Amino acid sequence: MKTRYKIAVLALVAVAGSAILGGSFWWWLVGIMAGKFIIRLVFTIALAIVIYCLVYALIIGGIFWLLIS
């Protein structure tokens, strides 16, 4: 991801967090840190779900392969 897009996303998260929580400078920082954590957590969970599905598809495909041959 390009640096300017990262900065834009962080700024958007910070502004949203600040607007929700009151508007002070410290809430901007908290919004940035929480936003980065939440985004990483969501991507990690999504990756885990994809890998889980692929492993089960591989297992089921292997069973079908054995049954067909």
User: Looking at residue 52, what is its pLDDT?
Assistant: 96
User: Looking at residue 46, what is its pLDDT?
Assistant: 95
What is the domain count for the chain? 1
User: Looking at residue 3, what is its pLDDT?
Assistant: 76
User: Looking at residue 37, what is its pLDDT?
Assistant: 83
User: Looking at residue 60, what is its pLDDT?
Assistant: 95
Low-confidence ranges of the chain (pLDDT < 70): 1, 17, 21, 23-25
Cβ neighbors of 21 (< 8 A, separation 6 or more) are: 27, 30, 31
- Pair of tokens at residue 60: 């089921």
Domain hosting 49: range is 3-68
Q: Report the C-alpha gap between 21 and 18 in whole angstroms.
A: 5
User: Looking at residue 1, what is its pLDDT?
Assistant: 58
Torsion angle of alpha carbons 23, 12, 3, 29, nearest 10°?
30
How many CB atoms are located within 10 Å of the residue 36 CB? 14
Which helix (H) or strand (E) element contains residue 49? helix 25-68
Its pTM surpasses 0.85? no
